[in-house]
């Protein structure tokens, strides 16, 4: 796990976009794992800007969304399929048929989850998975206590996650209680994971998953076992890290050939 402490969200977005651009230039048919929430928005803005300058094409790229609410009608503005379209894929030249997401409206949720896993395999697996992290250490919607080997499945949201997400709805009563999410085992299959966390409210979660034990109580801690995870955080999110100075030193002296 590489921990990179950067001055602000703009710098974080630029570094994450650099990683994605480098991947797409090397592999035009790359498979991206797409997260929602506030953490990746700056990255999507930066990638859309680079696309509109004419320097970056996503024409052959495939994208797989990380999760989806259960129970929202198709086309609901806060469904994650619509959020991904609005914030990213409608702003670039990716083919709509190449954008996939878990089906939270399916009549047979387990079958839909199995089909989603199969679609990832058929695409060749995720090359780069973009992630945020919840205040309780969840990634995707893998809440505390999730199996570290889990696959795409239905999950119940804890109260804190529903409160955190209520800002996207008119009230917390509108936030669904259930979601479909890629499992931790699914996420761990990605070849490169890029996780973004900013703000003091994420400092405890960042400490727990970076420097704490690998444990189901902090789902993101499973990333300590991933061979290529890059954690991009600002100073506020890094404030609880015991080895923050070491991470700064390592990044400042990183050989250019290592890449991101």
* Catalytically annotated residue among 138, 192, 207, 226: 138
* Rounded Cα–Cα distance for residues 183 and 186 (Å): 5
Q: Is 249 marked active-site?
A: no
Helix (H, G, I), strand (E, B) or coil at 208: helix
Helix (H, G, I), strand (E, B) or coil at 2: strand
* Catalytically annotated residue among 68, 127, 136, 208: 136
Q: Which of 253, 164, 243, 249 is nearest to 210 (CA)?
A: 243
Q: Is 143 marked active-site?
A: yes
Count CA atoms within 13 Å of residue 48 on its CB side: 15
Count CA atoms within 13 Å of residue 210 on its CB side: 29
* Catalytically annotated residue among 46, 62, 67, 117: 67
Q: Is 68 marked active-site?
A: no
Task: Return all residues near 240 (Cβ < 8 A) that are at least 6 apart.
Answer: 203, 204, 206, 207
Size of the chain, expressed as the number of residues it contains: 260
User: In this structure, what token pair is assigned to residue 96?
Assistant: 């709509």
Helix (H, G, I), strand (E, B) or coil at 63: strand
Q: Is 82 marked active-site?
A: no
Task: Return all residues near 23 (Cβ < 8 A) that are at least 6 apart.
Answer: 30, 127, 128, 192
Task: Return all residues near 128 (Cβ < 8 A) that are at least 6 apart.
Answer: 19, 20, 23, 30, 31, 32, 33, 190, 191, 192, 193, 194
Helix (H, G, I), strand (E, B) or coil at 35: coil
* Catalytically annotated residue among 46, 127, 143, 208: 143
**Which residues are part of the catalytic machinery?**
67, 136, 138, 143
């Amino acid at each position: 796990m590489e921990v990179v402490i950067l001055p602000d969200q703009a710098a974080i977005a630029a570094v994450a976009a650099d990683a994605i651009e480098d991947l797409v230039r090397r592999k035009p048919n790359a498979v991206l794992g797409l997260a929602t929430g506030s953490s990746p928005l700056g990255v999507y803005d930066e990638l859309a800007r680079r696309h509109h300058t004419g320097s970056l094409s996503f024409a052959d790229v495939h994208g797989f969304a990380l999760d989806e609410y259960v129970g929202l009608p198709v086309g609901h503005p806060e469904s994650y399929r619509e959020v991904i379209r609005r914030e990213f894929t409608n702003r670039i030249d990716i083919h709509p048929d190449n954008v996939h997401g878990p089906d939270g409206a399916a009549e047979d949720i387990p079958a839909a989850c199995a089909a989603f896993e199969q679609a990832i395999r058929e695409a060749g697996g995720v090359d780069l998975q973009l992630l945020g992290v919840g205040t309780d250490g969840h990634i995707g919607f893998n809440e505390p206590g999730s199996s570290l080997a889990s696959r795409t499945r239905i999950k119940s949201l804890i109260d804190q996650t529903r409160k955190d997400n209520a800002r996207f709805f008119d009230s917390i009563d509108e936030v669904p209680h259930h979601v479909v999410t890629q499992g931790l085992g699914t996420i761990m299959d990605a070849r490169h994971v890029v996780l973004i966390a900013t703000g003091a409210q994420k400092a405890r979660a960042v400490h727990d998953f970076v420097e704490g034990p690998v444990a189901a109580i902090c789902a993101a801690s499973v990333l300590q076992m991933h061979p290529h995870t890059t954690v991009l955080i600002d100073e506020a999110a890094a404030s609880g890290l015991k080895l923050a100075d070491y991470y700064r030193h390592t990044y400042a002296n990183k050989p250019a050939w290592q890449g991101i």
